[in-house]
Structure 1
Amino acid sequence: SHSIFQLTVQQSGVDRYGRKRTIRGKLNLVDLAGSERYRDIKMGNEQVSELTNINSSLHVLGRCIASLSHNSQKGTAATEHVPFRDSKLTRLLQDSLGGTAKSVLMATLSPSILCIEESISTLRFADRANQVMTFAKANI
């Protein structure tokens, strides 16, 4: 299953004009589960159900990244819908994936020739994610 650790930091104070200001920041550390194929491993019904959910959320994440990448390439006038609400994973990561966040993706690969398809798929996903443009700014 996926693991998500969210750390939210908030600082409140008064600016030089006497107005109350609150600055917020969020750090998401996410470990995505692999997308194993059903045919490659033997498992029971519970494992099949979990694998189905993992693959479904990874598929939606891929669609979100593809839409964000498309919008980045087309510029600010792009209006392709980004399906953040189609999975719990993408809903939780919505503010980190697009808009005003700074994101870093680390993709891990296997050196084994047996995992070549998964490694190529991971590299393609990382390439699409690299094409997403965001502009970090303070959340006040």
Structure 2
Amino acid sequence: MSLFRTPQVVLFTPDPERAAAFYRGLGFEEVFRTPAEGPPIHVDLVLDGYRLGLASEASTRDDHGLAPVASGQRAAVVLWTDDTRAAYARLQELGARPVKEPSEWLGRLLIAWVEDPDGHLVQVAQAVE
């Protein structure tokens, strides 16, 4: 039996509700929120079995005594797609800021980059033949 299981990435954000709305717009489903009423300090969402957490930077600092960084290109959420160009356009419709238009990479992928409303990188990737 493995000591570890069910990996998850948590992104720090000044506004978990806004961030959750963005990722719900991409098809993620909300599976956890605390507190149940009022502004959330943590929201978990799932897409195709992958769990993404959104944690309030204030709560992370105040409740856990940590020093979260909630700005800059610290990590990337990668979303695979069958249509990079359409996905890139949809991300922008949902409020993402374009970073790099779709381009071929390694001769076998078509990828594009945006930043979500908190500045986290989101990459869309498509296998091409």
Higher percent of residues as helix: 1
TM-score, normalization: structure 1? Answer: 0.25
Higher percent of residues as strand: 2
Larger radius of gyration: 1
